[in-house]
Structure 1
Amino acid sequence: MTLLSVRDLRVGFGREGHETEVVHGVDFDVTAGETLAIVGESGSGKSVTAMAINRLIDFGGGRILGGRATFDRKIDLATASEGQMQRLRGREIGMIFQEPMTSLNPVLKVGTQIGEVFRKQHGLSGRAVRDASIRALDRVRIPDAARRLDQAPHQMSGGMLQRVMIAIALAGEPRLLIADEPTTALDVTIQAQIMGLLAELKRDTGTGLIFITHDIGLVAGLADRIMVMRGGEAVENGAADQVLDRPAHDYTRHLLGAVPHFRAGQAARTDGARTGQVPALDVRGLSVRFPVGGGFLRKTRGVVHAVDGVSFDLVPGETLGIVGESGSGKSTTARAILDLVRPSAGRIETGGTAAVQMVFQNPNASLNPRMTVRGLLAEPVIAAGQNVDADVLERMRTLLGRVDLPDDLDRFPHEFSGGQRQRLCIARALMLNPKVLVLDEAVSALDVSVQAKVLDLLVDLQREFGLAYLFVSHDMAVVERIAHRIAVLYAGRIVEVGAARDVLSSPRHPYTQKLISAIPSIDRRRIDYTLDTEEVPSLLRPVGFVPPDQTWQEVGPDHRVAKEPLS
């Protein structure tokens, strides 16, 4: 049965009667139990199309200019009243957004926000709301679900927040679910779990799914049909196998060619040389712990061991990839090195306060929209107590040219594309001539073709300036392209470390093997995703808990694996 039928959908933004059309005559259908993947790069119109279906564009200065969007063969969403849409949103048409931090209320506890769905849409109250909320978080594989309900969004990692958003959307049991880049911030194992959740939902309820993404390799395992968008138009629309194996449009072929393909270590870099070099970064026994308060007088009732005894070094010209699940300690390790979180134990040796700089995941959140390029690039210089003189201005222009940006210092961030903004963040990080760049998911928010260009830029800059990179990522195919060595984090500890080629081609730890087996591929079609219910170890320990020392097994010249499982 056709659940949604869209014909000649046109969407515009601007003052009524003077709108600028951004979606031009899109046609598609979604049947019950079917997955339509809408793919395309930023600005292609895929998210606007999705938000037009549930009329969320009405609240952002947009409107449907023409066409029909018939739901359940009887309701034209294009002309439905706001009252009708309120009855449909959440219950009949669910939505998972890309950026959870802008979708969740920052001042309300997670449990309050999930519980609202069960109160309003299912009529539950009291203890039943909390029990249902715990089951919702368990379903999306969030550890310590009962404790997480009492946390605010800022106390959770990005990957966990995305799972909270998915739990909220699934709680409404919608007949049509629109997922807008729902796995962008997630590591491969959690990504596979989310795909399993969506597949389970389809099997059990016949829910129709619109999956919006720039990752064609990801949707190959789930999609029944694929629609490719560019410039607000659907340039190709057909069965998944047809589009993936015999693409008819040049743009579709361009997207397929830009997807990073995992090659089991064969694409790993071998140009680094560690012998005889003094480390640019030396980390020994790093631990980061967060006390958890509760009960009478907020007495500490436990300690979260976010990072436990992590040790590694990094030499000039080398990239160490840090991989692991959300909550494994990747970002906490990176932030501890920059002293953005206070280490509880261990030592971190660098060449001085300006020797290490950081590039964050989201360039939109990293750049002050009210500052010009001149002001943004001057920030680290001023923070280091230096004057912005002629030499500094010349360095600004040199670095902008080096990252392939125009040397116009008076432009604002909104005048750049997403990929250009991330290049600007890289140029800012280089202003103080650092020895080490910490890149925390620095390319995960970019389109695949832009991502490839930024990775090439990072490699070129590394060779030119002798930079050392600590590259934190959940994308194993991306890590394979840039890393010389890889450290795998699990529950706050390194469980395997070694040359990228060895770790990726011959993983020895069960967790590393699990990460690699979950990597999506264009060659894996209509995977029978099954929901893994294996529990992630809790990082909450009793006060005074001392973890056992790790023992290691050498499995190669530069490859070792932890011997004991973490309990």
Structure 2
Amino acid sequence: MMPLLSITDLRVGFGRNPEANEVVRGVGFDLAEGETLAIVGESGSGKSVTALSINRLVDYGGGRITGGSIKLRRADNSVFDLLTATEPQLTKIRGAEIGMIFQEPMTSLNPVLTIGTQIEESFRLHRGLTGRQATAAAKDALDRVRIPDAARRLEYTPNQLSGGMLQRVMIAMALACNPRLLIADEPTTALDVTVQAQIMALLAELKRETGMSMIFITHDIGLVAGIADKIMVMQGGEAVEQGELNQILDHPQHPYTQHLLHAVPHFASGRATRSDGRREQDKGTEPALKVDGLVVRFPVKSGFFGRASGAVHAVDGVDFDLMPGETLAIVGESGSGKSTTARAILGLVRSTRGTFSAGARKAAAEQSALPVQMVFQNPYASLNPRLSIASILAEPVIATGGRVNAQTRTKMAALLKRVGLPESSLERYPHEFSGGQRQRLCIARALMLNPSVVVLDEAVSALDVSVQARVLELLVELQREFGLAYLFISHDMAVVERIAHRIAVIYAGQIVEIGDATSVLSEPKHSYTKKLIAAVPTIDRRREHFELDTRQVPSLVRPLGFEPEPARWDEFGPDHRARVEA
């Protein structure tokens, strides 16, 4: 019997002459019923274009399939040729027989329509349901993906749900009509490890329930080890290697597959933490950064007159020391308060109370003016596209009252060379650089004022694994050379293990565990730390049975005047302590 999906010699091009501008060249594979194929590769490898070509969505993005065949075996065992299908025929196939989950739910959902309206659309189109029937079916779809209080959530708009919840809504929409094939294009890339684990658990459970086939597109090989049956590795628009899961992971043949497996940060439960770099501190050494009693609260207003009725306790009593030449990683889920902590230190968010000090310099929380610089998560958004690189690097100097002179230009050239970019880059613009190069430019800009502390807010999470590895190596080298202290904010425990000397775990605005990286990762004491570590994907966990956890992060909204109880700590060695749990 023919496989559920059979692709032969697929070729896809873009532009006015697509044959001369092919980005997918000769890709082919078969997918059996109930089978999961993982397509892995870095940005630009052609994996997403391949997925979009299966249901001909690539036609809407300026692409054109220039050769090959895509054949789908339908429920009645007839063979359907997707390349010769008309648009009305494709409309009946999409959603009904081929479902798709996109990477970014906020751009895939209509921001002005309720969740219920958007889910009902699929039932109206493919099943002919209307009115209460469509609403009941939409509620059942949300129940199916384990969204609590589904009836009320139907009235929500996308901005009222978290990233993990939105991705569940996207899964509910994709599975609304029980498709026989589900294409998931990087469905967990923007999610925290715990939410990512829940999405993977949900997909695995739904796959068992329905027997559907799945194509899972990702750049994280460790992630697919828990769910895939087969892997196809793509590079430069070609499938360079494909085969059974164990064969690819244990005995990769192609150099690019070997490179990908080597570049992926492998979580080793604390065995791979850094043993270099952190200097033995003299007793009298001042911390590069000291944070005492940091509190950040945002008012919640209600009523006709907009009076404050409570406050969001985003950060609630955070304390830590960061020594020169040391990397302190702050880890936690989205909404835990880690980025708010960093922004408060930089004065980008107004703090309620607390103090900061850097060496001999001290500032109240509300007027931070310390020698601290920041590298943001998205290198595409943090560089002004209208300014040349010379102007971008000059911005910190001008902002602090300095002048751009020959000495400044010399420093720019030296920093560019240090981050691996030529001096000629000064005259170019951000769009002329790759993602990894742009992040190197952001690092160079952060070093223009000789800071003692650099805050890295998810600075490598948007990068491919091999680019990520090179940027991490650069950060370690710069730390050794300049004695920099890093405040490294991340939700990726494998990356944290590779770069951190110490770790602070933050949950619901409070540090719940802090200490030496090896100790925290190998012997976690707080239940939340254990949960974070248990959710880390690794290539050693093959076809793992993910446990679905529908518990929600507690609300951080508190009534006016509420103050938390003083923290109580248990000590687990000279540099490891955890908050006593209630």
TM-score, normalization: structure 1?
0.91
- Give matches, 1:129-528, under 5 Å: 129=135, 132=138, 136=142, 139=145, 150=156, 153=159, 162=167, 165-171=170-176, 173-270=178-275, 271-272=277-278, 273-274=280-281, 275-293=283-301, 296=304, 300=308, 302-350=310-358, 351=361, 353=369, 355-408=371-424, 409-528=426-545
* Gap change, CA 1:373 and 1:307, over 3 Å in 2: same
* Distance (Å, rounded) in 2 between the aligned partners of 1:361 and 1:15: 35
- Further displaced range: 196-205 or 384-393: 384-393
Task: Note the C-alpha offset of 1:148.
Answer: 10
Report percent identity of matched pairs: 66
* Distance (Å, rounded) in 2 between the aligned partners of 1:522 and 1:389: 51
**Equivalent residue in structure 1 for 2:555, among 538, 541, 545:** 538
* Gap change, CA 1:224 and 1:466, over 3 Å in 2: same
* Gap change, CA 1:353 and 1:160, over 3 Å in 2: farther
- Further displaced range: 400-409 or 225-234: 400-409
- Give matches, 1:555-566, under 5 Å: 555-565=572-582
Task: Note the C-alpha offset of 1:495.
Answer: 0.7
Letter of the 1:444 partner, please give it. Answer: S
Q: Secondary structure at the match of 2:494?
A: helix
Letter of the 1:461 partner, please give it. Answer: L
* Distance (Å, rounded) in 2 between the aligned partners of 1:460 and 1:521: 27
Q: Secondary structure at the match of 2:571?
A: strand
Task: Note the C-alpha offset of 1:223.
Answer: 0.5
* Gap change, CA 1:170 and 1:299, over 3 Å in 2: farther
> Contact 1:10 / 1:66 at 8 angstroms: preserved in 2?
yes
* Gap change, CA 1:27 and 1:479, over 3 Å in 2: same
Task: Note the C-alpha offset of 1:92.
Answer: 3.1
Task: Note the C-alpha offset of 1:199.
Answer: 0.1
> Contact 2:111 / 2:157 at 8 angstroms: preserved in 1?
no
* Gap change, CA 1:486 and 1:160, over 3 Å in 2: farther
Residue 52 of structure 1 is matched in structure 2 by 53
- Give matches, 1:2-41, under 5 Å: 2-16=3-17, 19-41=20-42
> Contact 1:372 / 1:413 at 8 angstroms: preserved in 2?
yes
- Further displaced range: 157-166 or 402-411: 157-166
Q: Secondary structure at the match of 2:12?
A: strand
- Further displaced range: 95-104 or 387-396: 95-104
Q: Secondary structure at the match of 2:514?
A: strand
Task: Note the C-alpha offset of 1:530.
Answer: 2.5
- Further displaced range: 20-29 or 293-302: 293-302
* Gap change, CA 1:391 and 1:91, over 3 Å in 2: farther
* Distance (Å, rounded) in 2 between the aligned partners of 1:413 and 1:230: 25
> Contact 1:119 / 1:125 at 8 angstroms: preserved in 2?
no
Letter of the 1:367 partner, please give it. Answer: L
* Gap change, CA 1:304 and 1:124, over 3 Å in 2: farther
Task: Note the C-alpha offset of 1:368.
Answer: 2.7
Residue 88 of structure 1 is matched in structure 2 by 93
* Distance (Å, rounded) in 1 between the aligned partners of 2:346 and 2:143: 32
Task: Note the C-alpha offset of 1:460.
Answer: 0.7
Task: Note the C-alpha offset of 1:477.
Answer: 1.1
> Contact 2:293 / 2:319 at 8 angstroms: preserved in 1?
yes
- CA root-mean-square deviation: 2.9
> Contact 1:354 / 1:384 at 8 angstroms: preserved in 2?
no
Unaligned runs of 5+ in 1: none
Unaligned runs of 5+ in 2: 362-367
Q: Deviations over 1:98-128 (max 9, x none)?
A: 2344434456666765565566667465798
Residue 365 of structure 2 is matched in structure 1 by none
Task: Note the C-alpha offset of 1:337.
Answer: 2.1
Letter of the 1:421 partner, please give it. Answer: R
> Contact 1:487 / 1:494 at 8 angstroms: preserved in 2?
yes
> Contact 1:134 / 1:149 at 8 angstroms: preserved in 2?
no
> Contact 2:569 / 2:578 at 8 angstroms: preserved in 1?
yes
> Contact 1:355 / 1:434 at 8 angstroms: preserved in 2?
yes
* Distance (Å, rounded) in 2 between the aligned partners of 1:277 and 1:143: 54
* Distance (Å, rounded) in 1 between the aligned partners of 2:89 and 2:370: 57
> Contact 1:358 / 1:438 at 8 angstroms: preserved in 2?
yes
* Distance (Å, rounded) in 1 between the aligned partners of 2:14 and 2:20: 5
Letter of the 1:499 partner, please give it. Answer: D
Task: Note the C-alpha offset of 1:437.
Answer: 1.3
> Contact 1:327 / 1:491 at 8 angstroms: preserved in 2?
yes
* Distance (Å, rounded) in 1 between the aligned partners of 2:225 and 2:527: 26
- Further displaced range: 199-208 or 65-74: 65-74
Equivalences, count? 564
- Further displaced range: 473-482 or 296-305: 296-305
* Distance (Å, rounded) in 2 between the aligned partners of 1:398 and 1:65: 47
* Gap change, CA 1:290 and 1:92, over 3 Å in 2: farther
TM-score, normalization: structure 2?
0.89
* Gap change, CA 1:233 and 1:196, over 3 Å in 2: same
